[in-house]
Structure 1
């Protein structure tokens, strides 16, 4: 899974480097979103504004949910890897102790 995460990370870095929108600083990114929102108000009825606004919120929520789950899974992997390494070390130590006990018999 770590290979896939590295691949995803390099893809994300390439996307951010190649996209003007994703390379903007946070304040400019927010201002741009505000400007787009204000520009859309003029040509839409109240019902259309509500429908499109809710749609965009739903898209954003879905993206945030997916990225939060990916972060949670990535944070678990190092912990699981460490636990597996610790278990293997303990098994190796047990095997060495058994050999020592067998020598003493």
Structure 2
């Protein structure tokens, strides 16, 4: 019984520790987009044009950096998967060659 309570406390603690992952990134696309729009509108208040430009460019730069890193990770993962597929194809070709030899030897 106490283990179940500890598990639930740990789940609650995890969601409190990383609210970006547990709350923000789990939102459906429309709500996620709406939230970003609301944040953008809230940040407009009390900023000069220069501050808005600077902050906007900063946020875009952060996003671009994240997208670049994610694209590279995806590319490397894809290359690794492609290498494995090529190895599997080579193995299948070898098996086919062996089967052909075996069939020819039985004729």
Range into which the TM-score falls when normalised by the shorter chain:
0.5 to 0.7
CA distance in 1, matches of 2:63, 2:42: 19
Picking from 36, 43, 66, the partner of 2:69 is 66
CA distance in 2, matches of 1:58, 1:80: 33
Say whether 1:79 aligns with 2:85. Answer: no
The alpha-carbon distance between structure 1 residues 65 and 83, as it changes in their structure 2 partners (threshold 3 A), is same
For each residue in 1:32-91, what CA deviation from the matched residue of structure 2 results, as whole angstroms up to 9, or x when unmatched? 000000001012111000000000000000101111111111111121013234446667
Secondary structure (helix, strand or coil) at the match of 2:26 reads coil
Q: Structure 2 length normalisation: TM-score?
A: 0.63
Higher relative contact order (CA 8 A, sep 6+): 1
Question: What residue ranges of structure 1 are gaps of 5+ in the alignment?
Answer: 1-14, 98-105
**What pairs up with 1:21-36 in 2 under 5 angstroms?**
21-36=24-39
Say whether 1:54 aligns with 2:57. Answer: yes
Alignment length (residue pairs) = 84
CA distance in 1, matches of 2:19, 2:78: 22
Q: Structure 1 length normalisation: TM-score?
A: 0.64
CA distance in 2, matches of 1:45, 1:26: 31
CA distance in 1, matches of 2:80, 2:87: 10
Q: Is the 8 A contact 1:21 1:29 kept in 2?
A: yes
